[in-house]
A and B are shown apart, each in its own frame.
Chain A
Amino acid sequence: MKKYLYSSAAIIALAMTTSSASAACSPDYTGVEITATTQTGPYIASALSMAAEGWTEKTCGTVKVVEFPWSELYPKIVTTLTSGDDAFDVVAFAPAWAPDFTPYLSEMPVKYQEGEDWLDIAPVYREALMVWKGKILSQTMDGDVHTYTYRIDLFEDEANKTAFKGKYGYDLAIPKSWKEYLDIAEFFQNNVDGVWGTAEAFRRGGQQFWFFFSHAAAYTSHPDHPGSMFFDPDTMKAQINNPGWVRGLEEYIRASKLAPPAALNFSFGEVNAAFAGGQVAQSIGWGDTGVIGADPKQSKVAGNVGSAVLPSANEVWNYTTGKWDKFDEILNTPFMAFGGWQAAVPSSSSKQEAAWDFISYLTSPEVSGQAAVTGGTGVNPYRISHTTNLERWATIFSDREAAEYLGAQQASVTADNVALDMRLPGYFSYTEILEIELSKALAGDVTPQAALDKVAVEWDNLTETFGQESQLEAYRASMGLPAK
C-alpha cells in the first residue's frame, strides 16, 4: 500500500513539474532582450511596459522600453533605420511616417494575419492603415479618429436652451453639421458668461493641421471618388485649394475666433486643458479629451462629458465636375486624424521573431483591451471588442458618458465615408508648408484662398522633386486604391 502511495505521489509530482516547466516560456525566448522605442511616457510607453511585464512572464524574454521626446522621435527613428543601426527591435510610431520607414521594415509573419483576433481588428485599420502596397508592415496598437465633445450640463441647461432657440430657431443639441457647430460656438462665446465657444488646436507645430483636415473632410471626401481628398488619384495634382478645402479653412478660421483668448497658440494639449478646466462648451479632437474630461482627478467637469461623431455636411465638392454635390441628408464623414500608433519591426533587427511575438501579445484583445481602459496608456479603441464591453469603461466614465464615448468611437471608425489621413513619403515637407500658410491665414495675413493656392503650388513642386510616379503610387497605396 505504502509503495503504491509513494509511487503515485512520485508520478504526480513528476507530472506536475514537467507540465509547469512546459507551461513557462512559451514560446521560449529566455535570454532574449528586445528593445522597443517610442515617445516619452506615459502615453504608449506605459502600454508597452505593461505588455512587457506580461510577455516576460509568458516567454521569459525581456523588453527594454526606450523613450524619446515626441518631437524628436521621428528624426531618431529615421537616423537609426537609414544608418542600418540595430539599436531597436520594435518601433512604435505615427502612421504618417510609415511611408518613409517602409523600405526598412520587415513584413508581419503570415501566422498572425488570420483567425478571430485578426478579424477583431476594425476593417479600416486591418485593410487600409496597416497595409502598404499589398504587404502588412505594421500592426495598429492604438486607434485614432477625431470626434466631438460637448458639455452635457451646458447643453441641458433650460436657460441656454431657450435663449439658443430664440436666437437661432432650432433646438440646442449635438450639431450634425459644421454650420450648427459654429452657431453653438457663437452662442456660448457671446451670450453665456464664463465660458467660451469651442477649443481646437491652431498653433504651428501643435497638431493644427489635423484639425483643419477634420473641418474640410466633409466637404472634400466625396463618397463616389474615394481617395481624392488631398490629391487627384490619377494625376497626383494637389487638391488642397479646391472650394471644398477653402470652405473648410474659412470655418476653421471662424472657430478660432469663437475660442478662448490666445487660442491661436493652442496645441491639442491646451484643448484638453481648456475642456477639462471648464472653459469651453465644445471641442473637437482625439478621444483623450473625453477620457481626461471624465477623470475627476484631472478635470473640473467630470460627469458632464458628452461625445458624438464629428459634425459633417450635406454637400461635397466634386472635383471631376467642378461643382458642389448636394445630398438630402447629412453625410457622415469622420476623419481618421493621425490614424493611430503603429508597431513594427525594422529589418535591421536581429531578433525579429521575438519582436513580432511581442507585438502580437501587445495587441491581443485581452492585453489591448485592458490598456484601452487604463488611463495614461494612450491606447484608444481599435478592436471591435474594445467598444462592446461597457463594463470596463464604467471605472472612468459615468454610464451616459461611456455610452456616448464608445458610440462615437465606434460610429466614426465604421462609417461608410470615413476619410483617411494623408500619408506620403516626405510627409514633413508637405505639412511644413501647410502649417506656415495656415498660421498666416489664421493671423489674417493672407486670405484663405491665397494661402491654399500657395500650398497647392508648393505641394506640386514637392511631388515633382520627389518623383511624380513614385508619389502617385504611394498616395494610391495609402488611400487603399489599387495600383494603376
Chain B
Amino acid sequence: MSVRDLKGSGRHWVLAGCLAWLAFSLFPLYWVAITSFKSPVDVVGGPTYLPFVDFQPTLTAWRDLFSGIRGEFFSNFWSSTIVALSSAVIATTIGSMAAYSLVRFTFRVRLLSGVAFFVIAMGGYLLGRDVFGVSPALASIVSFCLALALSIFVNRFRLPGPVLGNDDIVFWFVSQRLFPPIVVAFALFLLYTEMGKFGFRMTDTYFGLTLAYVAFSLPIVIWLMRDFIASLPLDVEEAAMVDNVPTWRIFFGIVLPMSKPGLIATFVITLAFVWNEFLFALFLTNSKWQTLPILVAGQNSQRGDEWWAISAAALVAIIPMVLIAGLLGRMMRSGLLTGAVK
C-alpha cells in the first residue's frame, strides 16, 4: 500500500463520484448499443430502454451495415485500420525523437533565416506559377527545396535579430494545429491534385493520406512527449553518457522505456485522432482509401436520420479503439513499476 492511497471516510465519496461519472460516460454508449438493435418502429415511437423488455432486438441495422448498401463498410474499415496504425506508429516514433532532441540538445535558429525561408518559398511559388508559367506542383517543389537550402546556409552567418531556441521550435510545431482544418484540407487537396497532374499521384493513396496525418499529429506528439521526457530523472542518462553509450542507444534503450506511461498515452491519443479524423479523409480520398468516419457521417442522410444505422456504424467504429485502449491500459498500469527502476 503506497503512501498515496486513499484513506478514511472520504473513500466512499470518491467512489460515489466515480460511479456517477461512469453512469454519465457510459449511458450514451449503452444507448447507442441498444439502438443499433432496435427496429425503426421502436426508435420513432418513443424511448425504449431494455432489450426484450421494452422492445424486441433485431439485426436489421447490422445486416444493412455489413451488406454495403450504406457505404462500403469493409473497405472503409480496412483503410481506417491501416492508415491509423501506421500514422500513429510513425508519428509517435519520429515525434518522440524530435521531442527528445528538443529537451536534451540546444538548437539555434535565427529568426531572419526562418523569415527568409518563408519569403523565398512564397516568392518562388508565386513567381514560378504566375511569371514563368510553370505548373504549381513544379513551382512549389523547386521553391521549397531552394528555400530550405538557402535558409540553412544563411543560418550559419551571424545575422541580426533574435535567435529562436528550443521552446520556440516547439511552439512552431504546435502552431501548425491552430489553423482551421478545413482550409488546410482544401489546400492539401489542391496540392495533391497538382502533384497528380505532375505525374505523382497523391489523392486517394495510402502515401498521401498517411503523410498528411503524420504531419498533423506530430505537433501533439512533440508537445506532449517533451513534457514527459523533461520530467524524467537525468542521472540514468548521465551514467550512460559517462560510459560513452551512443545517443541513439540511450534514447531507445533508456529514455523510451522510462517514459512508457506518457508514450503510451500519446500513442493512444494520436491513434484516436487519426481513426476519428474526418475532414482530411473527406478531401484527400475518394473510393480506394475512404475511412470509417465518412461512413458514419454518411448515415446522417438527407431524408431521414436513421438512428439505428447511425448507432450500428458508430459502434463498429468504436470497438477496435476499445480493444486497443484496454490493451494499452494494462501496459500503462505496469508503468507504475518503472518509476521504481531508478
Contact surface of A with B, Cβ cutoff 8 Å: 35, 37, 39-43, 45-46, 49, 64, 66-72, 76, 79, 83-85, 87, 207, 267-270, 272-274, 276-278, 286, 288, 292, 297-300, 376, 378
Contact pick for A42, options B69, B290, B295, B297, CB 8 Å: B69
Contact pick for B71, options A40, A292, A300, CB 8 Å: A40
- Is B39 on the interface with A (CB-CB < 8 A)? yes
- Is B87 on the interface with A (CB-CB < 8 A)? no
The reply to whether B44 and A68 form a contact with Cβ atoms under 8 Å apart is: no
CA distance A133 to B297 in the complex (A): 36
Given contacts A68-B282, A79-B283, A85-B196, contact A272 B39 (CB under 8 A): no
Given contacts A41-B70, A72-B297, A76-B282, contact A300 B45 (CB under 8 A): yes
Contact surface of B with A, Cβ cutoff 8 Å: 39-41, 43-46, 64, 69-72, 186, 189-190, 193, 196-197, 203-204, 282-283, 286-287, 290, 294-295, 297-306
The reply to whether B304 and A46 form a contact with Cβ atoms under 8 Å apart is: no
The reply to whether B303 and A79 form a contact with Cβ atoms under 8 Å apart is: no
Give the residue name and chain of the B residue nearest to A268 (CB): B303
The reply to whether B305 and A270 form a contact with Cβ atoms under 8 Å apart is: yes
Q: List 29 interface pairs A-B (beta carbons < 8 Å), by A numbering.
A: A40-B70, A40-B295, A40-B297, A41-B69, A43-B302, A45-B69, A45-B71, A49-B69, A67-B72, A67-B298, A68-B282, A69-B294, A69-B298, A70-B301, A70-B302, A72-B294, A76-B283, A79-B189, A79-B283, A83-B190, A83-B193, A84-B197, A85-B193, A268-B304, A277-B45, A277-B46, A278-B45, A298-B41, A299-B44
Q: Which B residues touch A83, using CB under 8 A?
A: 189-190, 193
Q: Which B residues touch A299, using CB under 8 A?
A: 40-41, 44
Q: Which B residues touch A84, using CB under 8 A?
A: 193, 197
Interface of B is mostly: mixed
Given contacts A70-B300, A269-B305, A277-B45, contact A46 B286 (CB under 8 A): no
Q: Which A residues touch B64, using CB under 8 A?
A: 42
Q: Which A residues touch B193, using CB under 8 A?
A: 83-85
Given contacts A42-B69, A79-B283, contact A276 B40 (CB under 8 A): yes
Q: Which A residues touch B70, using CB under 8 A?
A: 40-42
5 pairs of A and B residues whose beta carbons are closest in the complex: A40-B298, A277-B44, A269-B305, A298-B40, A69-B297
Q: Which A residues touch B298, using CB under 8 A?
A: 39-41, 67-70
The reply to whether A288 and B196 form a contact with Cβ atoms under 8 Å apart is: no
CA distance A286 to B186 in the complex (A): 34
Q: Which A residues touch B290, using CB under 8 A?
A: 66
Q: Which B residues touch A72, using CB under 8 A?
A: 282, 294, 297
The reply to whether A300 and B295 form a contact with Cβ atoms under 8 Å apart is: no
Q: Which A residues touch B72, using CB under 8 A?
A: 67
The reply to whether A288 and B303 form a contact with Cβ atoms under 8 Å apart is: yes
CA distance A83 to B69 in the complex (A): 29
Give the residue name and chain of the B residue nearest to A287 (CB): B303
Q: Which B residues touch A37, using CB under 8 A?
A: 286
The reply to whether A67 and B196 form a contact with Cβ atoms under 8 Å apart is: no
The reply to whether A273 and B44 form a contact with Cβ atoms under 8 Å apart is: yes
Given contacts A40-B71, A41-B69, contact A69 B300 (CB under 8 A): yes
CA distance A300 to B43 in the complex (A): 11
CA distance A87 to B295 in the complex (A): 19
Instruction: Knowing that A79-B186, A276-B41 touch, tell me 7 more A-B residue pairs with CB under 8 angstroms.
Output: A40-B294, A42-B69, A69-B297, A76-B282, A76-B283, A85-B203, A272-B303
CA distance A292 to B44 in the complex (A): 12
CA distance A267 to B300 in the complex (A): 11
CB distance from A187 to the nearest CB of B (A): 23
Give the residue name and chain of the B residue nearest to A85 (CB): B193
CA distance A278 to B302 in the complex (A): 21
Given contacts A40-B298, A76-B282, A83-B193, contact A300 B304 (CB under 8 A): no
Give the residue name and chain of the B residue nearest to A46 (CB): B69
Q: Which A residues touch B282, using CB under 8 A?
A: 68-69, 72, 76
CB distance from A128 to the nearest CB of B (A): 22
CB distance from A259 to the nearest CB of B (A): 15
Q: Which B residues touch A68, using CB under 8 A?
A: 282, 294, 298
Given contacts A39-B302, A69-B294, contact A87 B44 (CB under 8 A): no
The reply to whether B44 and A276 form a contact with Cβ atoms under 8 Å apart is: yes
CA distance A72 to B287 in the complex (A): 15
CA distance A300 to B70 in the complex (A): 24
Contact pick for B299, options A40, A298, A300, A376, CB 8 Å: A40
CA distance A338 to B189 in the complex (A): 29
The reply to whether B304 and A272 form a contact with Cβ atoms under 8 Å apart is: yes
Q: Which A residues touch B302, using CB under 8 A?
A: 39, 43, 70, 207, 268
Given contacts A46-B69, A66-B287, contact A40 B41 (CB under 8 A): no
Q: Which B residues touch A43, using CB under 8 A?
A: 301-303
Given contacts A70-B302, A269-B301, contact A35 B287 (CB under 8 A): yes
The reply to whether A40 and B283 form a contact with Cβ atoms under 8 Å apart is: no
The reply to whether B287 and A273 form a contact with Cβ atoms under 8 Å apart is: no
CB distance from B65 to the nearest CB of A (A): 11
CA distance A39 to B295 in the complex (A): 10
CB distance from A210 to the nearest CB of B (A): 11
The reply to whether B71 and A67 form a contact with Cβ atoms under 8 Å apart is: yes
The reply to whether A300 and B303 form a contact with Cβ atoms under 8 Å apart is: no
Q: Which B residues touch A268, using CB under 8 A?
A: 302-304
CA distance A105 to B43 in the complex (A): 42
CA distance A378 to B303 in the complex (A): 9
CA distance A354 to B18 in the complex (A): 62
CA distance A272 to B197 in the complex (A): 45
Given contacts A72-B282, A85-B203, A376-B69, contact A39 B45 (CB under 8 A): no
Given contacts A39-B302, A69-B300, A273-B305, contact A300 B294 (CB under 8 A): no
CB distance from B309 to the nearest CB of A (A): 9
CA distance A292 to B303 in the complex (A): 10
CB distance from A33 to the nearest CB of B (A): 11
CA distance A67 to B76 in the complex (A): 11
Give the residue name and chain of the A residue nearest to B313 (CB): A40
Give the residue name and chain of the A residue nearest to B283 (CB): A79
Q: Which A residues touch B190, using CB under 8 A?
A: 83
Q: Which A residues touch B295, using CB under 8 A?
A: 40
Q: Which A residues touch B286, using CB under 8 A?
A: 35, 37, 66, 87
Contact pick for A87, options B41, B204, B294, CB 8 Å: B204
CA distance A70 to B296 in the complex (A): 12
Give the residue name and chain of the B residue nearest to A285 (CB): B303
Give the residue name and chain of the B residue nearest to A88 (CB): B286
Give the residue name and chain of the A residue nearest to B72 (CB): A67
CA distance A69 to B295 in the complex (A): 7
CB distance from A62 to the nearest CB of B (A): 13
- Most A CB atoms within 10 A — which of B64, B70, B301? B301
Q: Which B residues touch A66, using CB under 8 A?
A: 286-287, 290
